[in-house]
Amino acid sequence: MEAAKIIAKLARMLRDVGLAEEIAQDAWVAALEQWTAAGLPDNPGAWLMATAKNRAIDQLRRRQMAQRKSALMTHDPVLPGGSDFGAHEVDSIADDLLRLMFVACHPVLQTEARVTLTLRLLGGLTPAEIARAFLTSETAIQQRIVRAKRTLSEAHVPFEVPGPAQRATRLEAVLEVIYLIFNEGYSATAGEDWMRPGLCEEALRLGRIVAGLVPNEAEVHGLVALMEIQASRIHARTNAKGEPILLLDQDRSRWDRTLIRHGLTELERAEGLGALGPYALQAAIAACHARAKSGDDTDWGRIAALYDGLAQLTPSPIVELNRAVALSMAFGPAAGLDLIDQVVAGGALKNYHLLPSVRGDFLFKLGRFAEAQEEFLRAASMTQNARERDFLLGRAQKCDSTSRAN
């Protein structure tokens, strides 16, 4: 958090995210050198902030950019004079963090660049940590960060909170990035592990920050609620060998009740702020699972109704796929299969491994084992996650053994 605050403050001063990060890193080096000898100051955050701002001024002076310096410094001419921040400074830092989020998630950047820059600037993750999280090279991440900063600079992206006309769209982009980070941690698209909990934790932290910065936005609380409730299941989603366990087969005593309580509280806040948006509706669906003592106790009728509302609000093949699962649980696998076949006919998810996986599940429950086996094998060939591939191959094998037994 200190890193994000300082970079945000410097970026407002300098109107240059890349330069702000470089100067912040200089401040970290100074801290390592001086604190090792003299010990921690009374307020390390204030010390870092003052050091970083002074270094920003020194650099501007060294470059003899008097005209630019004068223009830039009018944005923030006062340096912190003591070890404590006043109320105005705290409010200013909150505003700067919000501005930095809007810059990192600016639509001028590609989605992968938004995700990377958000984790770097606001999450404080190193390029090596980001590379490990997304199973790519550190060099690739460093290049992505450099390109993102250059794009922002060349596009002259303003370091500001968008006006009313753009605010909703830009906030939606911020929430999308945070949820993409969470989903990559919750169900890894590739690699040997089914989950990467560290990414889930980082997304939750960022979501909570945004909720604190814009407390009157229902969808922000909806997203936090959704992530809290989903994260509550993490320890129950795999066995001791790291193999996936489906929702209905999970040991619910392993669900984190504290996260569930936090999630339900956030959902109440979202509901109290007006009509539910897509994230809040998904949180309401997750809440149905969280409140149920077992899979049999789940209110599948309400979940199906909530998916109906979600399909009307944000129609998409993915929503229809999930709605099919809800319909199958509420009204039987045949009802789910009818809808899933409509999705298949649409062709939009032909390369999405969960489509044949879900269809295979419906066919298995209907006793059509040979067809189900084909679907599970197709799904296994499409996923890039090793754990998920093994799981799907196991389901395909079960189709064969069940068919022989019958």
pTM of the model: 0.78
Asked whether residue 65 is assigned to any structural domain, the reply reads: yes
Among residues 52, 70, 85, the one where a domain terminates is: 85
Asked whether residue 142 is assigned to any structural domain, the reply reads: no
Tell me the C-alpha distance between 394 and 175, whole Å.
36
Asked whether residue 22 is assigned to any structural domain, the reply reads: yes
Contact status, residue 4 vs residue 205, Cβ threshold 8 Å? no
- To the nearest 10 degrees (0 to 180), the angle between helices 2-14 and 17-38 is 130
The gap from C-alpha 193 to its chain's centroid, in whole angstroms, comes to: 18
Tell me the C-alpha distance between 370 and 196, whole Å.
34
Q: Which residue, 114, 85, 309, is CA-closest to 123?
A: 114
Stated as kind and residue range, the H or E segment containing 261 is: helix 257-272
Asked whether residue 44 is assigned to any structural domain, the reply reads: yes
Asked whether residue 30 is assigned to any structural domain, the reply reads: yes
Contact status, residue 270 vs residue 276, Cβ threshold 8 Å? yes
Can you tell me whether residue 388 is helix, strand or coil?
A: helix
Asked whether residue 17 is assigned to any structural domain, the reply reads: yes
Asked whether residue 246 is assigned to any structural domain, the reply reads: no
Among residues 65, 85, 105, the one where a domain terminates is: 85
Q: For residue 16, what are the domain limits?
A: 1-85
Q: What angle do CA 352, 321, 282 make, to 5 degrees?
A: 115
Q: Is 335 exposed, middle or buried (0-12, 13-18, 19+ CB in 10 A)?
A: middle
Asked whether residue 240 is assigned to any structural domain, the reply reads: no
Among residues 64, 85, 106, the one where a domain terminates is: 85
Tell me the C-alpha distance between 63 and 74, whole Å.
18
pLDDT string in tens for the chain (406-residue length): 677 788 888 887 777 788 888 888 888 888 888 888 888 888 888 888 888 888 777 766 665 544 444 444 444 443 333 333 344 444 456 788 888 889 999 999 999 999 999 988 888 788 888 887 777 899 999 999 999 999 998 998 888 888 877 888 889 999 999 999 999 889 888 777 878 888 899 899 899 989 988 899 999 999 999 999 999 999 999 998 888 999 999 999 999 999 999 999 999 999 999 889 999 999 999 999 999 999 889 999 999 999 999 999 999 999 999 999 999 999 999 999 999 999 999 988 989 999 999 999 999 999 999 999 999 999 999 998 999 999 999 999 999 888 888 7
Domain count, the chain: 2
